[in-house]
Structure 1
Amino acid sequence: MFKVPRLYPFSEDQHTGVHACFYEGVSYKGRATRIFAYYGIPRSVSPNEKVPAVILVHGGAGTAFSSWVKEWMARGYAAIAMDLEGHIPFGDEEHSERMEWPSHSWSGPEKQGVFADYEQLVDDQWMYHAVAAVILAHSLLRSFQGVDKQSIGITGISWGGIITSLVAGLDTRLSFAMPVYGCGYLHEPGSYYGLSFASMPETEAERIRLLWDPSNYLSESRLPMLWVNGSNDTHFPLTIFNKSFEQHLECHPNNNHSRLSLHPGLGHSYKEAWACEELFAFADSIVKAKPALVEICEEKHEDGWFAVRYDSCLPVLEANLYWCVDDRDWRTARWESIPASLDATNSKALVRLPQHGISFFMNLRNEKGWITSTRVMRNERMAEQKIK
């Protein structure tokens, strides 16, 4: 997987410079496979110039979106987006909603629910082929003239976020990783992923957890990561998302460049994920030395107060506390917000916690509008009183 796969050129859009291609995948039941992809390198690149690059991993009901590649190219990046489900999205590649794209005869296994193919041999499971396709896409991207091999990152949405979280701890060649929605600890209760694990025989559930849950790889994720999610995501609740971020953050000192960005009310869709400017800003800060998102240096919860110390190269204009009184179901939790007192001179934000608040986090917004969040924290004493 870490060797350059064979490339099968298909076509090139002369107007945009986006190429359609197939590249060699891992074998499936003894036969060769190919993966469809779009890729592009900004045309402004001179012969001796090298640009950063990004791998784009779609989620469920998605495909290789050429529009996603174009967006990153317009921002000065080479990019590759592959299809992980054996489709060729010709004619519909601009759509981000569920579509029925034509299949091709070189594909690997079909995706079946949430690890519903758990009884299959490991190398016959969809997740094995999906992870391999992403790592191979990275190997291919590195081989292109004009791509800076030391400045390649990855981002993925939903299922793509799961794969991104996993690959972040597996592919040490990556410079940054940005999972959106998707995360680890999928086996834990509270989501339909957890329900799928619960429906498996116990031994099989444990086998799949060890094979494919990102929590088994995040401890090796020694690179800057940006974690983006909404406050009430219907697929990936904040419990497991926050836990994934914390596991990554605490596994290596270099991970202090990582950020969490929680967007209250953010829906679960490609369109809304693509609109998060924090993704482009974070990538730029890592590989282009541009301004970084606000860094959370210290979070202190004591005597009914929540104090945050931060660092930012851009002015921080706003700090807000988000809190809820009932976190039993993160999908329907009602988040309230109150402004925090902002001391820009000393880079501190302070707020008194609401009396009945159980779970809470603070968002800091800089002059560009980019959001950095503290970890989601819990007032355990208040939670215990509520149970009583």
Structure 2
Amino acid sequence: MLRQGAVTGILLMAVAQAAEAPMWNLARLFHAPKATPAEGFQADGMQALFYEGLPYRGKPTRVFAWLGIPKVEAGKKLPGMVLVHGGGGTAFANWVKLWNDRGYAAISMDTCGCVPRGSYGNWQRDEQGGPPGWGGWNQINEPREDQWTYHAVAQAILGHSLLAAQPEVDADRIGLTGISWGGYLACIIAGVDSRLKCVVPVYGCGYTNEHGFAGSVAALGKEAAERWMRWWDPSVYLPAARMPMAWVTGTNDFAYTMNALQKSYRLPKGPRTLCIRIRMPHGHGPAGEAPREIHAFADSILKGGDPLPTFTAQGRDGHQVWATFESQRPIARAELCFTVDRGNWQDRRWEAAPAQLAPGRATAALPDGVAVYYLNLFDCRDCVVSTEHVEIPRSIP
């Protein structure tokens, strides 16, 4: 007979193992959820839906979504995009229309248990919604399956399954993009939902304890912070991502700083494209939804369009920096992006200077005192691609 201490130890071990079991039941999430019309919501050319989510606190949930499917010729199918909103947002019909106008079917779901009635950051709660966002800081001691990230990731994957099940949609040509907290979710989803053919995080990345939300992680206390990072940080999931990813952001993002971004984009095993503009604004609308690089990247993978330029190598020889590249489109210009500041990433002053172009190669001379630099190429569509940023010592050898 086992002693009481041994029994207690076995029970604790079982609880710990259960807590670290696979996070999501993909067999369930990869099955299209049941959907019903959402009465009282209208937008031209699209459907307002509720679809079944995962249980929250033991009760069924539903997820609001806008689904838009353009007209398609008989016998043909459309590519699709899954759209994951950011902090203060909800399901956005205009975002769906943006992709519909480009020839894509698209779905945008609310990930915080709300419906699109109210105002930005103050949307109406749905009585059958899941947990509220963002970050789930105050939920960390609740059951794992009742926390926001668990539900938000599942809701997006279920949205993908619903979109893929539409008869007009080619299930093998679906991508996903997310903005801010939606970009954070996109990073996790990229490592969980292998069906996706491309993923575009806008602003969002992993290593939450090293960027603008580091204080929120630390405030949880040591044990809870470690648990949050182990369960909910994208760095845990990004190594499993295999699809092409484009990372779209700016140098001075208030939340997702370049140090954490770089560590994040180095984790996935698939091809990556960086699109980093100096002081890119942060937000929904044109800022985060409409960068032309997002659409060109998706078109190249899902519609057979010309790809964005690709850097093949980069380096530095003293003050001289260089990068080699390949491009199917003409390159209009190149620039050296740099800062001499070494303080908080959000506060650094970035400047741009023309770089020299030769066939397949860009070069530039570093000004004195540069702390960080990278190179940008702009093709004839004014799409930008970036090298990795490089931090250099105070005195260049």
TM-score normalised to structure 2 length: 0.89
Q: Is the 8 A contact 2:174 2:198 kept in 1?
A: yes
Q: Distance between the aligned counterparts of 2:111 and 2:42, measured in 1?
A: 25
Structure 1 residue 200 corresponds to structure 2 residue 226: no
CA distance in 1, matches of 2:40, 2:375: 46
**Match of 1:5?**
33
Secondary structure of the corresponding residue to residue 187 of structure 1: helix
> What amino acid is the match of 2:361?
K
Residue 377 of structure 2 aligns to a residue in which SS?
A: strand
Task: Determine if the alignment matches structure 1 residue 289 to structure 2 residue 309.
Answer: no
Structure 1 counterpart of 2:114:
87
Q: Give the aligned residue type for 1:206.
A: E
Task: Give the partner amino acid of 2:109.
Answer: M
Paired residues for 1:158-307 under 5 Å: 158-188=180-210, 190-191=211-212, 193-248=213-268, 252=269, 255-256=270-271, 258-271=272-285, 272-307=287-322
Residue aligning to 2:323: 308
Q: 2:366 aligns with which of 353, 370, 375?
A: 353
**Shift in Å at residue 11 of structure 1?**
5.4
Contact map agreement 1:358 1:382 (CA 8 A) in 2: no
CA distance, structure 2, for counterparts of residue 9 and residue 79 of structure 1: 17
Q: Partner amino acid for 1:81?
A: S
The percentage of aligned residue pairs carrying the same residue is 38
Q: What letter is aligned with 2:305?
A: K
User: Does residue 47 of structure 2 align to residue 19 of structure 1?
Assistant: yes
Q: CA deviation at 1:302?
A: 2.1
Alignment partners' CA distance in 1, 2:266 and 2:233: 15
Name the Cα RMSD after superposition. 1.8
2:80 corresponds to which of 53, 56, 79: 53
Aligned-residue offset at 1:16: 3.1
Match of 2:91 in 1: 64
In 2, Cα distance between the equivalents of 1:11 and 1:293?
42
Equivalent-residue separation in structure 2 for 1:315 and 1:323 (angstroms): 24
The answer for the alignment partner of 1:340 in structure 2 is: 355
Q: Distance in 1 between matches of 2:67 and 2:297?
A: 21
Q: C-alpha separation between the residues in 2 aligned to 1:112 and 1:340?
A: 41
How far apart are the structure 2 equivalents of 1:331 and 1:376?
15
Secondary structure class of the residue paired with 1:162: helix
Whether the aligned pair in 2 keeps the contact of 1:50 and 1:148 (CA below 8 Å) is: yes
Deviation at 1:368, TM superposition (A): 0.6
Query: Does the residue aligned with 2:345 lie in a helix, a strand or coil?
Result: coil
Q: How far has the Cα of 1:306 moved from its partner? A: 0.8
1:128-167 map, 5 Å: 128-167=150-189
1: CA distance between counterparts of 2:306 and 2:323?
Answer: 20
Q: 1:208 to 1:25 in 2, by over 3 A?
A: same
Is the CA contact (8 Å cut-off) linking 2:42 and 2:48 kept in structure 1? no
Letter in 2 for 1:356: G
Q: Which amino acid aligns with 1:297?
A: T
CA offsets, 1:324-371, max 9 Å, x none?
A: 11132111101122111100xx31001111221010111100011000
- Aligned pair partner of 1:325 in 323, 340, 351: 340
CA positional deviation for 1:275 = 2.8
Contact 2:90 2:111 (8 Å CA) reproduced: yes
User: Structure 1 residues 121, 310: CA separation in 2 closer, same or farther (over 3 Å shift)?
Assistant: same
Cα gap change, 1:13 to 1:146, in 2 (>3 Å): farther
Q: Secondary structure at the match of 1:29?
A: coil
- Structure 1 residue 381 displacement after superposition: 5.2
CA distance in 2, matches of 1:31, 1:211: 23
- Provide the rounded CA distance (Å) in 2 between the counterparts of 1:105 and 1:200: 28
TM-score w.r.t. length of structure 1? 0.91
Letter in 2 for 1:142: A
Deviates more, 1:81-90 or 1:288-297: 81-90
Answer whether contact 1:12 1:19 (CA < 8 A) is retained.
no
Post-superposition CA distance 1:238-288 (Å, at most 9, x none): 11112211222xxx3xx23x2100011211111211231111110000111
2:67 partner amino acid = Y
Give, in whole Å, the separation in 2 of the partners of 1:326 and 1:320. Answer: 19
Inter-CA distance 215–99: structure 2 relative to 1 (3 Å threshold): closer
Instruction: Give the Cα–Cα distance (whole angstroms) in 2 for the partners of residues 168 and 59 of structure 1.
Output: 16
Offset at residue 117 of structure 1 (A): 1.2
1:378 maps to 2:395: no
Change in CA separation of 1:210 and 1:113 when aligned onto 2, cut-off 3 Å: closer
Could you tell me whether the CA contact under 8 Å between 2:69 and 2:100 is conserved in 1? yes
Unaligned runs of 5+ in 2: 1-28
The separation in 2 between residues aligned to 1:5 and 1:327, in whole angstroms, is 49
Q: Report the Cα distance in structure 2 between the residues aligned to 1:114 and 1:372, rounded to whole angstroms.
A: 33
CA drift of 1:218 comes to 0.8
Gap regions ≥5 residues in structure 1: none
Structure 2 residue aligned with 1:34, among 62, 65, 74?
62
Distance in 2 (CA, whole Å) between partners of 1:100 and 1:334 is: 33
Q: C-alpha distance in 2, partners of 1:40/1:47?
A: 18
Asked if 1 retains the 8 angstrom alpha-carbon contact of 2:136 and 2:149, the reply is no
Relative distance call for 1:13 and 1:204 in structure 2 (3 A) is closer
* 8 Å CA contact 1:291, 1:314 repeated in 2: yes
